[in-house]
Chain A
């Protein structure tokens, strides 16, 4: 008994054609059409407002775009971002290592650091460091039986630029520490275990096994942080550091061309952020794990352009 299992499938004449004649009708998504129409209409309104409102004063914007003091401000902003980011990565790495250390005291210290510097607004930290001389008149190193090695008045070294670097580095280091700690935690524990079974001491494991593998988890969010930091440096305007925003402010304080100069500032921030985003995208593609995520269209386009150029060369 049993069912007969056919060894081949016979297709009746006409069935194959009937299969081929079928066409697929896509589902109609009216909601998306309505949404698209609304978005286009909104875009039209915005562009018209930008183009027709004389208060935007586009010629003035263009005139200030490459103004020397705007350029100097942009340079200072970029330099601040770079210096602070480097310091934040160094300090953040140390704090992150302390946070995963076997010593509960080091762990607690690092935890407090992150808690404090992430918890207090950056602007308040900035103004605090700028006014450090109110708290500490002079900084000196005195060793018993040796005497005072050096002594400096706080006001002499706490320049606006220096206090900006100190305040924002310490603040940013709090965020970097968390990112690096997450990276260290994401390295499977078996890696460190295998290394110690091979006789590698803790420091060597950290330096040669754990941190290099943590890098690929750390790099993408670090790019994000750098972009955030670039914008955060505009806070230094409050303590009169000559950055991009401050230089624009000092121009419109004289000429009252507030809106055009804010547009100039926004333009330069956007330009730098866009360049950084492209760099970050490539970094992420290089180190990222999940390749399933859909890229934004502009990024796919840019990548194609670049890879096409690579081929034609």
Chain B
């Protein structure tokens, strides 16, 4: 396996500490081009925050990372590997479903609408993928799930159904569910946008703890304050391209591009 990574590193110039590596990522739906060449480096253990107006392509880019959307052009490597392809003889072969699923399971994803399985309890949500996909024995999966639920402060809700939880609690369960697959990187798609203002804090706190524990994270968000505090890099996207990137504090204080300045003045 590692020789594949080394090969990719040498071939595409992937930095040694790269977790997510994107070069020239394009995505079109018919005549509509949503991503027009996106480059991004997310080193291991760092947090990248992506901001931008709606329709700027930031969610689409996030979904490309775990191959929920196929790229139209460009390359995207997670941990120096393609998610949906095998590279042989200068061709990208689409991988079989089980292999794609295995690799996809290594990137956790969080959604704006939480998407907890509504017919399952909190515990069932957490052990579903580990037991079904990874074939981990239920007892072991449950023990691990309890540790994760304690981490997000919801151990007392194990037997509740999602509809019995507040939005903030649901998102914390969703984070625990993603962590149960022990992913290498977590992708957040506007994780707090559907929450009441007073519930945003508890979710951000869990994300803060994750970042401090060294989790690699790519966060599409409107919470500029969170990006400033936690983010290692801030990326501003508009119209399918990255307009500006940099250290969050400096970029928020002194944006270079007028479009970034205009956007920040509206959300701050």
Contacts and interface: CB of A to CB of B under 8 A. Distances in A.
Nearest to B129: A198
Residue of B103, B115, B116, B177 with most chain A CB atoms under a 10 A cut-off: B115
Contacts of B20: none
Contacts of B111: 190, 193-194
A152 interface: no
B133 interface: yes
Contacts of A263: none
Interface in A239-284: none
A165 to B, nearest CB: 33
Contacts of A188: 113, 115
Contacts of A194: 109, 111, 115-117, 174
Contacts of A61: none
A226 to B, nearest CB: 23
Nearest to A194: B115
A201 B97 contact: yes
A57 interface: no
B118 interface: yes
A36 interface: no
Contact of A201 (B101, B118, B174): B101
Contacts of B66: 197
Contacts of B128: 198, 200, 208
A202 B129 CA distance: 13
Interface in B45-72: 66, 68
Contact of A213 (B98, B104, B118, B133): B118
Contacts of A200: 101, 128-129, 132-133
A199 interface: yes
Contacts of A204: 132-133
B68 A193 contact: yes
Interface string A199-223: 1111010001100110000000000
Tier of interface size on chain B? 20 to 34
B108 interface: yes
Interface string B171-210: 0001001100100000000000000000000000000000
Nearest to A214: B119
Contact of B115 (A191, A201, A208): A191
Contact of B97 (A197, A202, A212): A202
Nearest to B108: A197
Contacts of B140: none
Interface string A161-196: 000000000000000000000000000101101111
A199 to B, nearest CB: 3
B108 to A, nearest CB: 7
A198 B103 CA distance: 10
A98 to B, nearest CB: 18
Nearest to B118: A213
B177 A198 contact: yes
Contacts of B181: 198-199
B68 A198 contact: no
A240 to B, nearest CB: 46
Interface in B115-168: 115-119, 128-129, 132-133
A213 to B, nearest CB: 5
Residue of A190, A194, A197, A208 with most chain B CB atoms under a 10 A cut-off: A197
Nearest to B113: A190
A196 B117 contact: no
B68 to A, nearest CB: 7
B102 interface: yes
Contacts of B107: 197
B68 A197 contact: yes
A190 B66 CA distance: 15
B100 to A, nearest CB: 8
Given A201-B97, A202-B97, A208-B132, A196 B104 contact: yes
B257 to A, nearest CB: 32
Interface in A112-154: none
A202 B104 CA distance: 13
Given A190-B111, A208-B132, A197 B118 contact: no
Nearest to A202: B97
A165 B1 CA distance: 56
A212 B119 contact: yes
Interface in B187-241: none
B117 A193 contact: no
A204 B132 CA distance: 8
B105 interface: yes
Given A193-B68, A204-B132, A208-B132, A199 B101 contact: yes
A199 B118 contact: no
Contact of A199 (B115, B119, B133, B174): B133
Contact of B102 (A191, A195, A199): A199
A197 B117 contact: no
Given A193-B68, A198-B108, A200-B128, 18 more contacts: A190-B115, A193-B111, A194-B109, A194-B115, A194-B116, A194-B174, A195-B129, A197-B104, A197-B108, A197-B178, A198-B105, A198-B177, A199-B103, A199-B181, A204-B132, A208-B132, A212-B119, A213-B118
Can you list the 10 inter-chain pairs with the closest CB atoms, starting with the nearest? A199-B105, A194-B115, A197-B109, A198-B129, A190-B115, A199-B101, A199-B133, A199-B104, A201-B101, A213-B119
